[in-house]
């Protein structure tokens, strides 16, 4: 779970190569959590690039880690496994050779249904219980009926739907549609969901959004699509939910101390918190697991396609191998020396212990002789 947001927190705390490793790991992780694969060949090609990127960065950091770190040597086999068994996570769908969607057996799916943690990570829910595009009203306690002018006009340049004069309430949520959409998709932030109410049920629901333009170029620092603010308006449908993060690096957001609350009471203790600049610049979080496959499908290939980290892989791998031969020999010599020192120390300890035992035995024997002499003297005196 940490991997989804880790890159936003470590960006100025670790060296550039380690930061690149965080990015490569986040991108690969999100790809591995695809529950559906539409274009298997495209997916596998991307997966191979993402795995190659991760291993190449490990190679630049320390090639030996690829050999000794448990999961890394198994990664290159993953594309073959996915081709044979489908998505790397359990219960996913993929197209077979005839173009028909198939999925894992019932027992594998049953495991997903019974594993709440896995469901939570995937944002998975029973589709049958949610009807797309329906809205849910706020609780009766929170529900306030307001006119269009005070509810909308101040923030959104939208004319009141005819006939005017109706009262509106704020809604709690809207169900996104997970299927195909006929409209061209646009990124946006839901500001408000409002509806008219009749007999305790919502009617004429509207979704007010701040729309964003997805830039053609990726953010170079985070390697993620940039979201630029566009306008305020009304959404026709909510297609899918995605995660966006403020681009603190570009906006140069600072840290500030804020008091820690304990049982809703302000304490003297403080903690560090990011104070975001008012600049409305965001990035589309490509490390988020929820809906990663849908985001990947909606984005143009120029933004979703992974770029090879090394252009000269062959030459780099030769360098890694040369480096590995030298460092392995050095490390083997160090290990042998450490082992020899340990053996000598053990031998020294054993010798010392043996000498102590011998000395103790001699002392006991000596004190025994002295006692015998004393006893003899007492007997002699008694006689």
The CB-of-209 to Zn ion minimum distance in angstroms stands at 21
Count the Cβ atoms, other than its own, within 10 Å of residue 289.
23
Spatial separation of the C-alpha atoms in residues 277 and 246, rounded to whole Å: 9
Spatial separation of the C-alpha atoms in residues 29 and 263, rounded to whole Å: 37
Nearest to 331 by CA among 73, 67, 75, 60: 67
The CB-of-228 to Zn ion minimum distance in angstroms stands at 15
Nearer to Zn ion, 246 or 293 (CB): 246
- Interhelix angle for 16-32 vs 40-61, to 10°? 150
Nearer to Zn ion, 49 or 245 (CB): 245
The CB-of-168 to Zn ion minimum distance in angstroms stands at 32
Nearer to Zn ion, 215 or 304 (CB): 215
Asked if omega into 173 is within 30° of 0 (cis), the reply is: no
Nearer to Zn ion, 31 or 287 (CB): 287
- Residue ranges in contact with Zn ion by CB under 5 A: 246, 248, 253, 276
Nearer to Zn ion, 11 or 143 (CB): 11
The CB-of-274 to Zn ion minimum distance in angstroms stands at 6
Alpha helices in 116-268 (DSSP H): 116-122, 148, 248-251
The CB-of-278 to Zn ion minimum distance in angstroms stands at 10
Spatial separation of the C-alpha atoms in residues 170 and 194, rounded to whole Å: 5
Residue 91 near residue 103 (C-beta atoms within 8 A): yes
The CB-of-323 to Zn ion minimum distance in angstroms stands at 39
Residues 6 or more apart whose CB falls under 8 angstroms from that of 170 comprise 138, 142, 143, 144, 151, 192, 193, 194
Spatial separation of the C-alpha atoms in residues 274 and 272, rounded to whole Å: 7
Token digits of residue 97? 């050779």
Spatial separation of the C-alpha atoms in residues 346 and 340, rounded to whole Å: 10
The CB-of-73 to Zn ion minimum distance in angstroms stands at 38
Nearer to Zn ion, 31 or 246 (CB): 246
Locus of tokens 């880790």: 6
Locus of tokens 């044979």: 84
Nearer to Zn ion, 273 or 331 (CB): 273
């Amino acid at each position: 779970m940490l991997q989804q947001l880790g890159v936003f927190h470590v960006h100025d705390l670790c060296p550039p190569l380690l930061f690149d490793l965080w990015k490569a790991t986040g991108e690969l992780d999100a790809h591995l959590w695809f529950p559906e694969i539409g274009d298997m060949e495209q997916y596998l090609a991307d997966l191979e690039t993402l795995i190659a990127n991760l291993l190449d960065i490990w190679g630049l950091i320390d090639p030996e880690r690829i050999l000794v770190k448990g999961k890394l040597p198994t990664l290159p086999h993953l594309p073959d496994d996915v081709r044979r068994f489908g998505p790397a996570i359990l219960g996913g769908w993929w197209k077979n050779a005839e173009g028909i969607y198939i999925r894992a057996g019932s027992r594998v799916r049953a495991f997903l249904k019974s594993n709440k943690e896995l469901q939570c990570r995937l944002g998975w829910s029973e589709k049958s219980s949610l009807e797309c595009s329906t809205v849910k009203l706020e609780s009766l306690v929170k529900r306030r009926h307001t006119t269009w002018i005070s509810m909308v006009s101040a923030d959104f340049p939208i004319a009141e739907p005819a006939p005017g004069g109706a009262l509106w309430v704020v809604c709690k949520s809207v169900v996104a549609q997970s299927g195909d959409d006929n409209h061209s998709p646009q990124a946006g932030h839901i500001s408000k969901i409002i509806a008219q109410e009749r007999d305790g049920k919502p009617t004429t629901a509207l979704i007010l959004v701040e729309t964003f333009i997805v830039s053609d170029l990726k953010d170079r620092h985070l390697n993620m699509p940039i979201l630029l603010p566009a306008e305020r308006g009304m959404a026709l449908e909510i297609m899918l939910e995605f995660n966006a993060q403020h681009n603190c690096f570009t906006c140069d957001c600072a840290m500030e101390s804020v008091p820690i609350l304990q049982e809703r009471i302000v304490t003297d203790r403080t903690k560090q918190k990011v104070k975001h600049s008012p600049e409305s610049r965001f990035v589309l979080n490509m490390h988020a697991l929820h809906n990663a496959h849908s985001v990947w499908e909606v984005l143009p290939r120029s933004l979703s396609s992974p770029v090879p980290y090394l252009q000269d892989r062959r030459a780099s791998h030769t360098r890694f191998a040369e480096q590995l031969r030298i460092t392995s020999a050095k490390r083997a010599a160090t290990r042998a020396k450490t082992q020899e020192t340990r053996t000598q120390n053990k031998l020294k300890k054993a010798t010392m212990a043996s000498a102590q035992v011998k000395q103790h035995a001699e002392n006991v024997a000596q004190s025994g002789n002295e006692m015998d002499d004393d006893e003899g003297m007492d007997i002699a005196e008694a006689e």
